[in-house]
C-alpha cells in the first residue's frame, strides 16, 4: 500500500475543474480538504471547535439521533471527539465541521465514515440555531460530490431512524434514494432500538 506524504490543506471550490481523482482503497489516504457550497464552508475540525461541539452534543435531538455513547459530554470528551475527527490518517473517514463562510460560526457536522473499497456511510447533525435552512442537505450533497469525484467512491449509504422525518428529507434532498427499511437496526440515544431507512447514492446515479 502506498503512503505518500500528507499534502498541505487545499481549497477546492464548487465545480473546480482541477481535481485529483483517485481511489482511496488504492492509496489508503484521505487528504485534508476544504469545500465550499454557497454560504457554507466545510473544513476539518480544529481544537478550537471543542466548546461549540460540547454544546451541540448536549442538544437533546443530537443526543438522541447521533448518540455518542458513554457519559455526559464534558470539555475533555468534546476535545477528544474533535481530535479523532481531525485525524484522517487511517484513510477510513473524512469528517468535516460545517461552518458559515460569512462569520466562521459552527453550523453542524458532516462525515464520511467506514470508507472502504469504494464504499462509505455518511452522517450529520446541525446545531439548533442553524436548522430550517437546509444546511445538512447542502453539506451532505457537497461532501457526497467530493466523495465521488475526488475520492473515487462508488456507493455512499445514509441511515436514519424512521422516527426522524427531518433526516429523511435531508437524504431525499441530497439525492439519496430510499432502498428499504431496516428493522430495529440501531440503538439510539434513549437506549431503544429503532427501525431505520436505508438510503444510498451511487456515483453513477443521475
Ligand X SMILES: CC(C)(COP(=O)(O)OP(=O)(O)OC[C@H]1O[C@@H](n2cnc3c(N)ncnc32)[C@H](O)[C@@H]1OP(=O)(O)O)[C@@H](O)C(=O)NCCC(=O)NCCS
User: For cell 451532505, what's the residue?
Assistant: 140
Q: How many CB atoms lie within 10 A of CB 7?
A: 11
Q: Does residue number 140 form part of the binding site for ligand X (CB under 6 A)? A: no
Q: Which stretch binds ligand X (CB under 6 A): 41-49, 68-76, 133-141, 197-205?
A: 133-141
CA angle (181 as vertex; 177, 185 as ends), nearest 5: 120
Q: Does residue number 167 form part of the binding site for ligand X (CB under 6 A)? A: yes
Give the nearer residue to ligand X in terms of CB position, either 16 or 134.
Answer: 134
* Binds ligand X by CB under 6 A, chosen from 32, 131, 154, 155: 131
Q: Does residue number 198 form part of the binding site for ligand X (CB under 6 A)? A: no
In contact, 29 and 151? CB cutoff 8 Å:
no
Contacts of 177 (CB under 8 A, 6+ apart): 199, 200, 201, 205
Listed residue (106, 109, 120) closest to 49, CA to CA: 106
What minimum distance in Å lies between the beta carbon of 120 and ligand X? Answer: 15
Q: Does residue number 61 form part of the binding site for ligand X (CB under 6 A)? A: yes
Segment 80 to 109, residues that bind ligand X, using CB under 6 A = none
Where do contacts with ligand X occur on this chain (CB under 6 A)? 61-62, 65-66, 124-126, 130-137, 160, 164-167, 169-170, 173
Amino acid at each position: 500500500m502506498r503512503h505518500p506524504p500528507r499534502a498541505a490543506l487545499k481549497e477546492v471550490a464548487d465545480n473546480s475543474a482541477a481535481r485529483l481523482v483517485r481511489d482511496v482503497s488504492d492509496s489508503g489516504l484521505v487528504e485534508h480538504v476544504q469545500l465550499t457550497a454557497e454560504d457554507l464552508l466545510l473544513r476539518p475540525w480544529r481544537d478550537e471547535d471543542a466548546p461549540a461541539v460540547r454544546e451541540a452534543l448536549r442538544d437533546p435531538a443530537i443526543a438522541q439521533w447521533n448518540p455518542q455513547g458513554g457519559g455526559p459530554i464534558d470539555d475533555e470528551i468534546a476535545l477528544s471527539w474533535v481530535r479523532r475527527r481531525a485525524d484522517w490518517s487511517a484513510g477510513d473517514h473524512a469528517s468535516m465541521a460545517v461552518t458559515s463562510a460569512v462569520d466562521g460560526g459552527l453550523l453542524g457536522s458532516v462525515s464520511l465514515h467506514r470508507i472502504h473499497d469504494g464504499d462509505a456511510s455518511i452522517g450529520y447533525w446541525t446545531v439548533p440555531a442553524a436548522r430550517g435552512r437546509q444546511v445538512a442537505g447542502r453539506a451532505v450533497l457537497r461532501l457526497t460530490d467530493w466523495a465521488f469525484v475526488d475520492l473515487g467512491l462508488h456507493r455512499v449509504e445514509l441511515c436514519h431512524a424512521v422516527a426522524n422525518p427531518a433526516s429523511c428529507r435531508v437524504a431525499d434532498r441530497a439525492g439519496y434514494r430510499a432502498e428499504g427499511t431496516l428493522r430495529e437496526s440501531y440503538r439510539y440515544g434513549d437506549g431503544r432500538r429503532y427501525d431505520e431507512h436505508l438510503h444510498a447514492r451511487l456515483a453513477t446515479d443521475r
